[in-house]
Amino acid sequence: MTHPSSDPRPVRLRAALDQVPGYKAGRPAPARTDLVTYKISSNENPFPPLPSVVAVVQDAVANINRYPDMTAAEMAHRMADTLGVDPDALAFGTGSVGLLGQLVQITCDAGDEVVFAWRSFEAYPILVALAGAVSVPVPNDAEGRHDLDAILAAITDRTRLLLLCTPNNPTGPALRTAEVEAFLRQVPSDVLVVLDEAYLEFVTAPDAPDAVALWRAHPNVAVLRSFSKAYGLAGLRVGYAIAHPEVAAALRKAAVPFGVSHLAQVAVVASLDAHAELQERVDSLVAERTRVLNAVTAIWPQVPDSQGNFVWLPLGERTAAFAAACEQAGLVVRAFDGDGVRASVAEPEANDRLVEVLQTFLAG
């Protein structure tokens, strides 16, 4: 027998990995002596955690030698009451990104297709490729909206999953009720349609869909929500899906056992208790978004509407230059080279600075 180290062949990894794009996480803003810097690249909530949430998490630390409640019973019941759904219809995951991975796993064998609008959430093509499935990206229209007719036209015999992101990260617009209803009537009933509502709490458009009503009306619809953005719990990794019981049960089968920590579970319950306080924060972020969008559209009318806690600047070839100008001004934004820049709505000073940098950049 030869000694293993004399065998030069590398470990065999799945060929599917070659198709997996790397996830580019937002960098922390580098500290500077001349000005306060801001990371506005990950759509995080700029407010610190609520004191009541910090307190329950601190208490819960005393139990971290134990596994969490795998059924997340208290959190599940509180969420079910809040939403007016049966607890059977809920599945929790390590962030809604965790659930997105589970959704691909429960629907796709190798070679099956997942259709989504593009540009959209960067995690979609990564999770699809990791599962050995095939991404079918469908370009957004000129206003950064999903082209639902083109998405319908992209459905084939191999399509197992459709991902709709509303409001769309990073371009901003939310879907409209009438268009989604018409769309759902035409999707084959055996294809799962996911409405990714990570930014739901920031939506103010009057014609935005009621995803829970759509879920009730369509056995092939599931809704995805996150505690990372409006709730400000990004670091605790917890999100949920509202799905029909068979789909929710499949999602639970595909979950990392005990993935949602006890700290995350108590933080969610405490956040539901602090609803009014959180709502004030969301309202102030929405007011800031309106302020930023008004200032931006005054100098650049074509900028798309945003219903999330971010704005999209479709700068095309000038994307990298604008990101560099932001960096100079102490702002770390998310640049998608050759396409555009996404900037999170953050502290008023960061928002003011973003508008100033854009004004100077467009004038130059």
Ligand X SMILES: *Cc1c(COP(=O)(O)O)cnc(C)c1O
Q: Which residues bind ligand X (CB under 6 A)?
A: 43, 95-97, 121, 165, 169, 196, 198, 226, 228-229, 234, 239
Shortest Å distance, C-beta 165 to ligand X = 5
Shortest Å distance, C-beta 69 to ligand X = 20
Q: Is 174:131 a contact under the CB 8 Å cutoff?
A: no
Task: Work out the angle between the directed axes of helices 262-273 and 275-299 (0-180°, nearest 10).
Answer: 80
Shortest Å distance, C-beta 16 to ligand X = 22
Shortest Å distance, C-beta 70 to ligand X = 19
CA-closest candidate to residue 96, choices 68, 127, 133: 127
Residue 165 vs 174, nearer CB to ligand X: 165
Q: Is 222:250 a contact under the CB 8 Å cutoff?
A: no
Tokens at residue 270, please?
A: 């405490």
Q: Is 225:195 a contact under the CB 8 Å cutoff?
A: no
Residue 95 vs 144, nearer CB to ligand X: 95
Shortest Å distance, C-beta 100 to ligand X = 7
Instruction: Write the DSSP string, 305-326.
Output: P--SSEEEE--GGGHHHHHHHH
Shortest Å distance, C-beta 224 to ligand X = 7
Residue 202 vs 361, nearer CB to ligand X: 202
CA distance 198 to 239: 9
110: Cβ–Cβ under 8 A, 6 or more apart, which residues? Answer: 16, 131, 132, 133
Residue 226 vs 271, nearer CB to ligand X: 226
Residue 91 vs 295, nearer CB to ligand X: 91
CA distance 50 to 236: 14
156: number of CA atoms within 13 Å, CB side? Answer: 10
Shortest Å distance, C-beta 4 to ligand X = 39
Tokens at residue 363, please?
A: 């004038």
Residue 252 vs 361, nearer CB to ligand X: 252
Q: Which residue is nearest to ligand X (CB)?
A: 95
Residue 135 vs 169, nearer CB to ligand X: 169
17: Cβ–Cβ under 8 A, 6 or more apart, which residues? Answer: 130
Give, in degrees to the nearest 5, the angle at Cα 226 between 223 and 232: 160
Q: Is 274:336 a contact under the CB 8 Å cutoff?
A: no
CA distance 64 to 299: 52
Task: Work out the angle between the directed axes of helices 95-107 and 123-130 (0-180°, nearest 10).
Answer: 40
Residue 107 vs 344, nearer CB to ligand X: 344
Shortest Å distance, C-beta 260 to ligand X = 11
